[in-house]
Amino acid sequence: MALSHTILTFLSECAHSGYDLGKRFEDAVSCFWKASHQQIYRELSKMEGLGWVEAEAIAQQGKPDKKLYRITESGRKELESWFELPCIPTPIREDLLVKVLAGSYLSRSVLIQQLTDRRSLHQAQLDCYREKEHAFLKVDNPEEHLVFRYLTLRRGIRYEVEWIDWCNEVLAAIS
Amino acid sequence: MALSHTILTFLSECAHSGYDLGKRFEDAVSCFWKASHQQIYRELSKMEGLGWVEAEAIAQQGKPDKKLYRITESGRKELESWFELPCIPTPIREDLLVKVLAGSYLSRSVLIQQLTDRRSLHQAQLDCYREKEHAFLKVDNPEEHLVFRYLTLRRGIRYEVEWIDWCNEVLAAIS
DNA sequence: TTGACATAGCCAACAAGTTGAGTATAAGGT
DNA sequence: ACCTTATACTCAACTTGTTGGCTATGTCAA
């Protein structure tokens, strides 16, 4: 049920359309939460059914109509009680680890390819996060909101660094 | 489809029952792949339908009958071609990060509780992995299989360390 | 003028993962 | 005598996430 709570968190700040939410997932929380437009739209209708959000149809000129969603009192309560619930860590499922575990059955060159490909992927992501980090660190006396967002970004940065380091460790071990 | 390939990797070594596989997932790869018994049993029947594995019923004394699964030629081919496919990194979805992002809406004490709880969870897991690491490092001239398994364990260790460090970073930042 | 991209949403089918129950036997502890 | 744990597997219902298609309009570049 945590996708809905992530959405509720965004709606706590201000009203969003499903489309807006999709973009926020893309550029604000992609380092720890992935959600497709389809998933978001479906979740929003479910949440409307539960009474956690309210929709208002907005006609726009030059653009299609949109539905603006607002958090309700009941949604706010739901979110607050969720905050206090213990978090269950996400189960991990990583294909690449399976390939390393099966290392004896793979040709060395394929394994190296898999690892170097993966490393560049994480390097690219890291570069992107580093830029965001740099932008934040230039701000004097940042708002609390921004600080919390920065702390989640730090998690993303650590995640990427850790992947790169591990790829390097494995590459060193097998050559 | 990667659960089936993880199973195929285990079956490459030797025949397993669904129950055996469940235990191997628990103690050998839990640091990067979680799978319930139910999931494994269902996946095995699907794989039997695809011809990737063959089942043999084994009667046992004092224990229930079991089904021993063996990888087939077609399963082996499937696995080999999967090895060469590019890996898509697992999308991340972490409740705790949502709570940190929403930090302004949580009471400081709840947030601290969430972070310290999470940190102890990862600390306990890390201790367990450290023991396994220690056991491996005592072996002289380990088999290649064991080396690859160790490398996946290293990933698990890095993962836990990284979580602990990040929790500490956030805790330091908010107090 | 044609195609790509952004805006804005909907639906259906499928794949994957979770939860909870049910069926059995045997070993070991309280 | 009863309870828990381990072995061993099955089924059903549900939630979550993915894939691909569909409907529109407007802008910008090749």
Q: List residues with CB under 7 Å of strand D.
A: A 1, 3, 34-36, 38-39, 42, 62-64; B 17-20, 23, 37-38, 41, 44-45, 60, 63-68, 91, 93
The residue extents of the domains of chain A are 2-84, 95-174
B34, B86, B158: residue with CB nearest A162? B158
Q: Nearest nt (C1') to B4 (CA)?
A: C16
Q: Please tell me which residue lies nearest to nucleotide C12, judged from CA to C1'.
A: A38
How far apart CA B46 and CA B69 sit, in angstroms, is: 12
* A13, A21, A105, A120, best to mutate vs chain B, most B CBs in 10 Å: A105
Pick the CATH number of B2-84 from 1.10.3720.10, 3.20.20.70, 1.10.10.10, 3.40.50.2300: 1.10.10.10
Q: Which residues contact B18 (CB under 8 A, 6 or more apart)?
A: B37, B40, B41, B44, B66, B67, B69
Residue B1, pLDDT > 80, answer no
Q: In the prediction, which pLDDT does B162 show?
A: 97
CA–C1' gap, A136 and C24, in angstroms? 62
pLDDT tens string B55-103 = 999 888 778 789 999 999 999 999 999 999 999 999 889 999 999 999 9
In which region does residue A57 sit, left (phi positive, over 0), alpha (psi from -120 to 50) or beta (all else)?
beta
Residue B119, pLDDT > 80, answer yes
